[in-house]
Amino acid sequence: MSELLQKQFKFSKMISELVVWLYDQGYTVQKGDSWRSTDKLHVPGGLEGFEDDEKYSYQELLFYNRKSKVINSKHNDRLAEDLLAWKNSKRLESEEYRPIGEKWESMGGKWGGRFGVIKEKYNEEIGWDANHFEL
């Protein structure tokens, strides 16, 4: 069994445990992006930044449209999940993800709420992808 496959199995179990924990804490959850294909897709019309005869993966399209900050994402390896959490019928804002992100980190995962934040400011700031969880 490959190391990547082992990590994918571990990640699936961890994300399931996080979702159960969220419901136990009174949250409700929607799944967002998980796996992002690296298959190349044709972009018709030559949209700005794209050539008519080129093909791009979903991740590349997200990057070029400024919906992602990276070309190579853990989503491509099936090692990331975006979760949309709700509490009291209200979708959480970035700062409200802190206890969820800290729970995820305690489980051994990497939380997107730390992206772009220096370690010394972890208690003061939230990074640019608070609903992102990866291994």
- CATH code assigned at 110: 3.30.1380.10
Handedness of CA 17, 22, 28, 32 (dihedral sign): negative
pLDDT at position 69 is 83
Mean pLDDT across the chain: 90
Written as one letter, the residue type at 63 is F
pLDDT tens digits along 2-45: 999 999 999 999 999 999 999 999 999 999 988 888 888 766 66
Query: Do residues 48 and 68 both lie within one domain?
Result: yes
Query: Do residues 24 and 84 both lie within one domain?
Result: yes
- Quote the domain boundaries for residue 10: 3-34+78-134
pLDDT at position 33 is 87
pLDDT at 53 over 60: no
Query: Do residues 87 and 123 both lie within one domain?
Result: yes
- Give how many domains the chain has, as a whole number: 2
pLDDT at position 39 is 83
pLDDT at position 131 is 97
Identify the band that residue 110 occupies on the pLDDT scale cut at 50, 70 and 90.
very high
Query: Do residues 120 and 90 both lie within one domain?
Result: yes
pLDDT at position 40 is 82
Query: Do residues 30 and 62 both lie within one domain?
Result: no
pLDDT at 49 over 70: no
Query: Do residues 85 and 99 both lie within one domain?
Result: yes
pLDDT at position 63 is 82
